[in-house]
Structure 1
Amino acid sequence: MAVNLGLDFDVVVVGGGPVGLLVAYQMARFGVSVCVLEKQDKETQDTFGRAIALFPRTMEQLDQLDLANAMLQLGFACRSSVTYKDGVEQVPGRVWTFMENIKGTVFDFALVLRQRYTEAIFREKLKSVGAVYFASTECTGFEVNDAASLDEYGVKSYWVNTKTQEKMTLKSKYLVGADGGRSFVRRHAEIPFDGDTSEDKWIRVDGIIDTDMPINRAYGAIESKTHGNVLWAPLDHGATRIGYAYTSEIAARYPDGVTEEVVVKEAIESMSPFQVKFREVHWWTLYTIGQRMARHFSTRNRIFLCGDAAHTHSSGAAQGLNTGIHDAVNLGWKLALQVRGFTKSEVLETYGLERKTAVEKLIDYDKDISLLMTHKWPSWYTGDKAADPYLVLGKIFEETTSFNTGLGISYSTNVLNQTPSVDISVTAGSRASDVELTVPGINQKTRLHRVARNQGKFWVVVFAGKVESTSSALQALRSFLYANNRLYLHPAIGWITVSASLGCSPYEAIGMVPFGDMYYDPAQEAHAEFGIDTAEGGVVIIRPDGLVGSGCGIDGAAISKYFSTILKFTI
């Protein structure tokens, strides 16, 4: 018999991995009722293993959601890399060298933290915001009432506890599938999963490892002709991951299949000529390489996919979890503002449009690097086939540094990303620079990303410039906002003032009450970073996820025009 909990949720999330937990945590944090249901018992499933590397832009996004600090306490901050060929260090190195010169962010490293710990942190944070979580609960079906308005609970989903066989039914306004590469949600919604699966297989094994390799607490690439481009990844808690290609030649040696003994033996061989000894084995896996993407990331205005449910690829560039987190952050605030009735439907529609462009780029790139890492040539390569594929691999990694770090990921013009109406050096849809600011009074340093945190609202950053030349524009903006309080006081909009003029108080610095909290820019470096003349000032509108929405002068009408295309209110 089905059990009705008597609870209706704004959003039901299928899948309690890091992506599902993050999208749910974000929405609950923004005032949306949400329920997460996970098929597995996470206390026993995959004790270690799975995704490990979190790159700078991912860490920035997690920091804006108050998640980074707990992860920094456990993770390994990797800022260096090494490449070995025939036991000799290659200088300059190849593949992971982009980690060594990351600029423009306080997260100038890759945080290496096994998924077990990431999920535990996310689950604890989810609990802290009052979201409902069920483990060992499997989705058996769902149906959508297309006649219901989006304010009604138009999705009915059906569930069974895998331990007790007890059934229940939930109603929600939206359903998010974050249930992995074999996603039930994707299949039940009949969304095609386009792409290919190759014949190539890789192995990953984690443990406590002793080695005579000279540099062993850096991200390493060991160039092998028999085991592909071998991954050496320092992990949290003093552990290490080795990853190598399980080629057909290796597989032929083990007709009875892969065991832990086989995995360890070949891991030791892959590291030749270095000596390797496993003191402990924590986890291992054998998996097939392929690249697939859902044809649609949403359907029927109610069902959304993110993470591996929407796209799968190799772990060659360590982008899987990073890409899933970017999905979750992008979807979370848009869905929350939609549920709360603040935004027009066009805003939520940008989720699939934006994320598909990023994933398409990743998949095209992943096809090449997964072949090169297996010591094979991509079909497009017309050069010398006797050459070293790892040289081309290193070049590709170097050319895609901004994509790998995530700092260069951007989206094209749409309803959220509108071309600035004045000549300033920001590009709509790109990451807002994390400029340094000064807190009034105490004169301590802070950062724009720290004060313009992801609180499910847009931030209007008024760069006030030098008040002696911008005073009249600031007063005009103040008058406009007094007359249009619905804009100034809207719960989806936050305000920040950045002043190049200093004073003993924010009021005295600009001769009026600032717009929201105020911070000083004494060296005008923040103004310069955004290309704003201190004699004229300007405005940069930042999306909840830290990307630039648009820019304009200190002009209330221009600010109002941007939000009139996004929010459900009239000025």
Structure 2
Amino acid sequence: MSEEYDVLICGSGSAGLCAAVWLARCGINFKILERREGPLKQGQADGVQVRTVEILEHLGLSEDVLKEAYHVLELAFWSPDDKDGIRRSHLEPDTEPGLSHLPHVILNQARINEILIEDIVKSSGQSHIQYGSDIREVVVDSEAAGTPDARCVTVKTIENGVERTYRAKYALGCDGAHSAVRKSLGFKMVGDSSDVVWAVMDIYPRTDFPDIRKKSVIQSDSGNLVIIPREGDEMVRFYMEMPVSTPGEVTPERVKERIDGIFKPYQVEIAETSWFSAYSIGQRLADHFTKDHRVFLTGDACHTHSPKAGQGMNVSLQDGYNIGWKLAAVLRKHAHPSILETYVSERHQTAKGLIDFDRQFAKMFSSAYRKENGYTTEDFQDYFIKSGRYTAGLATQYQPSMLVRPGHKDSMASGVSVGMRFQSAQVVRFSDAKAMQLSHALRADSRWSFIVFPGDVSEAQTEKRLFQVAKSLEVSMKQLPTFQNDIHSFLSLVLVLKSDRRKLEDRQIPRLFTPNAGKWGVKCLQNVFVDDVSYHAGHGEAYAKYGVNSEVGAMVLVRPDQYVAGIFDFMDVEDILKFFKDFATRTTNGFH
């Protein structure tokens, strides 16, 4: 006899858990099947890039991460000196100033997983994880896959020596580079490995090297090494290129000899080694990401690469972040299953771009490659700095699709890029004068967000235009999917005014932007903001940052995962309905 679920998640890594966070919040019936006997205790990944921290903030999970993690604020470059040693050549900010209001941090993957699991339990009362579940077979009934509600995916496992069978509408392969799901479906990893071998170790060092608590890139005549300070004040991670042909040739003695040569004239004594490994660089991409749009591969199950750019855990988590809200929308009957096709197009594009980048990034780390191709130490450092936006996870731009619609109105918010994540800016909340990030108004509750920038409503024409837009919006929202007849349950409205906040009157704000909400039906004042000076945090200049002319205004549609879907002007409210018509589901008065 089989157990039945809406979604089976095979693997409890960062991709699977992030998808599960969405499903738990949306009340979806799911199960996580994990081969390990318990939670991850010590993860190999530790870099939490800026975009991932933004995602965790969106999910309301960043507080503990920021409190516990090491914050990577500065990058030190070291080069050969003229005395057979090394010298610090210069310092750079780790993340381009102004790129995000959040930092790049270092925190063990096991702790990130723990935070995600805690949220799943908080949302649904249980972790949904079946540990000790070894996946043996995944089969899709392709004929039944065309029927939306069919449980056409069968997963067979071995648990405590006993075979068990699960059936579901959808399944996610989140089970790592040696994915049993991928192998069962007959998909292959395509790519290659290089003959460059790197060692990685977490150590407690006793040293006189001055930048041991900075992220540092050391290029010496004896080799290359990257320092990543770990959370706490003592442990650091070393990545170093090794002069061997295979990982099996790497021994602790050879690594220590290498360290001594690279750090010369500084001394490094290893008080204790917490973790040690060696690897050869490989970049591979799965030949398929989905089977009948019922089983989807995520994370290392569909893309593998070197760890030096710190992308593995981050891109995997972002895969889960992408597919999770889409599955929830389909299973809640808010969207047609066709939106799941965008997971493949968006994340395959991202994974391919990552592998192309990683291939060049890994080459630039290689002393032999730089020497053969005439690259200097300065060339490498310039390349490293220029790659910062990419390694921060902030260069992703999804291509046009049913969920991403660039158009001729995009110039109305010239600082906003359709298909990219919506960058935050400081604004002041109208109700209580609190300076805050606008991204905090985009809540991870599966709703789309429509951000309205009308300009200065102290101008009579602007106020009139805003009330006209509100009237048209209300008509449109009644035709979108709803939950319990709440027109705000699918599309959340956010208002950002360009006015003198202290002269604003409540009557100048259409009631549509302050609906009654919650158990007690209290007037919601959380989504009305002003781009104005705050008492203690200065002026956010949000209109300038977003490139919005306050005399003309603009409206920005943001997906549940914070990516910009489209930009509209005040004459095009009906275009919002046209946008959703291709995939949103029928309502009583609906269009689909």
Output the TM-score relative to the length of structure 1. 0.90
Determine whether 1:531 maps to 2:521.
no
Q: Find the counterpart in structure 2 of residue 521 from structure 1.
A: 531
Residue identity opposite 2:528 in structure 1: M
CA distance in 2, matches of 1:494, 1:421: 24
Aligned AA for 1:534?
Answer: S
Partner of 2:444: 454
Pair 1:129 & 2:98 matched: no
2:417 corresponds to which residue?
A: 427
Report deviation, 1:323: 1.4
* Post-superposition offset of 1:191: 1.7
* Residues 1:418 and 2:409 aligned together: no
CA distance in 2, matches of 1:506, 1:353: 46
Residues 472-481 or 317-326, more deviating: 472-481
Residue 476 of structure 1 deviates from its aligned partner by 2.4
**Aligned residue number for residue 11 of structure 1:** 7
Match of 1:491 among 483, 489, 492: 489
Deviation at 1:469, TM superposition (A): 2.1
Aligned to 1:80: 74
Alignment of 1:8-157 (within 5 A): 8-43=4-39, 47-86=41-80, 87-93=85-91, 97=92, 99-107=94-102, 109-130=103-124, 131-148=127-144, 149-157=147-155
1:559 and 2:557 matched: no
Q: 1:323 and 2:310 equivalent? A: no
Aligned CA RMSD, in angstroms, stands at 2.5
Show CA shifts across 1:473-526 (max 9, x none): 323233324444233816332111122244687732336553663122236832
Tell me if 1:282 matches 2:271.
Answer: no
CA contact (8 A) 2:157 2:165 kept: yes
Shift of 1:184: 1.0
Matched-pair contact (CA < 8 Å) for 1:435–1:448: yes
Residue segments in structure 1 that go unaligned for 5+ positions in a row: 379-383
Question: Structure 1 pair 343/269, CA: closer, same or farther in 2 (3 Å)?
Answer: same
Report if aligned partners of 1:421, 1:553 keep a CA contact under 8 Å in 2: no
CA contact (8 A) 1:342 1:567 kept: yes
Query: Secondary structure of 1:429's partner?
Result: coil
CA–CA separation in structure 2 for the residues paired with 1:100 and 1:342: 38
2:208 partner letter: D
Residue 336 of structure 1 deviates from its aligned partner by 1.5
**1:385 alignment counterpart:** 372
Give yes or no for contact 1:497–1:515 (8 Å, CA) kept in 2.
no
**How far apart are the structure 2 equivalents of 1:234 and 1:98?**
15
More off after superposition, 132-141 vs 475-484: 475-484
Quote the residue 2:243 is aligned against: 247
Tell me the residue number matched to 1:381.
none
Report the Cα distance in structure 2 between the residues aligned to 1:508 and 1:529, rounded to whole angstroms. 28
Asked if 1:221 is matched to 2:207, the reply is no
Q: Displacement, 1:59?
A: 0.8
Residue type at the aligned position of 1:102: P
Deviates more, 1:533-542 or 1:286-295: 533-542
- Whether the aligned pair in 2 keeps the contact of 1:497 and 1:514 (CA below 8 Å) is yes
SS in 1 for 2:385: helix
Preserved CA contact (<8 Å) 1:440 1:504: no
Structure 1 pair 193/220, CA: closer, same or farther in 2 (3 Å)? same
Q: Which residue of 2 aligns with 1:236?
A: 231
Deviation at 1:116, TM superposition (A): 2.3
For the residues of structure 1 that align with 2:558 and 2:153, how far apart are their CA atoms? Answer: 32
Task: Percent identity, please.
Answer: 26
The 2-side partners of 1:179 and 1:278 are apart by 34
Q: Provide Cα deviations, 1:420-450, integer angstroms capped at 9, x if missing partner.
A: 4523112210121201121123201111111
Q: Does 1:171 align with 2:167?
A: yes
Q: How does 1:298-377 map to 2 (within 5 A)?
A: 298-377=290-369
Name the structure 2 match of 1:195: 191
Q: Tell me if 1:207 matches 2:203.
A: yes
Per-residue deviation, 1:64: 0.3
Tell me how far 1:414 sits from its aligned partner. Answer: 1.6
Q: Deviations over 1:100-141 (max 9, x none)?
A: 53323221x320112222222222222222341112211111
- Indicate the SS of the match to 2:18: helix
Counterparts of 1:190 and 1:418, CA distance in 2:
34
Task: Provide the C-alpha distance between the structure 2 equivalents of 1:483 and 1:450, rounded to a whole number of angstroms.
Answer: 27
- Which string of whole-angstrom CA distances, capped at 9 and with x for unpartnered residues, describes residues 169-225 of structure 1? 111111101111111111111122111112222111002112110121110112134
User: Structure 1 299/273 Cα, relative in aligned 2: closer, same or farther at 3 Å?
Assistant: farther
Mapped to 1, the partners of 2:117 and 2:488 lie a distance apart of 31
- Secondary structure at 1:35 match in 2: strand
Q: Distance in 2 between matches of 1:326 and 1:244?
A: 27
CA distance in 2 between partners of 1:49 and 1:132 (Å): 21
Aligned partner letter, 2:316: G
1:185 aligned residue: 181
State the Cα deviation string for residues 370-398 of structure 1 (Å, max 9, x = none): 123231227xxxxx738455433323222
* Distance in 2, Cα, partners of 1:139 & 1:179: 9
Equivalent-residue separation in structure 2 for 1:89 and 1:543 (angstroms): 47
SS at match of 2:277: strand
Contact 2:194 2:281 (8 Å CA) reproduced: yes
Which letter does structure 2 place at the counterpart of 1:434?
A: S
2:506 is matched with: 507
8 Å contact from structure 2 (residues 470, 510) kept in 1:
no
**Secondary structure of the corresponding residue to residue 334 of structure 2:** coil
Structure-2 separation of matches of 1:72 and 1:409: 23
Q: Which of 384, 397, 401 is matched with 2:384 structurally?
A: 397
In 1, the alpha carbon distance for the partners of 2:575 and 2:464 equals 16
Match of 2:432 in 1: 442
Native 8 Å contact 1:98 1:401 kept in 2: no
Name the stretch that deviates more: 277-286 or 391-400. Answer: 391-400
Per-residue CA distance 1:10-59 (angstroms, 9 max, x = gap): 1111111222211212221222222111111345x6x4351111111111
Alpha-carbon spacing, 1:89–1:195, altered in 2? closer, same or farther (3 Å): same
* C-alpha separation in 1, matches of 2:375 and 2:468: 64
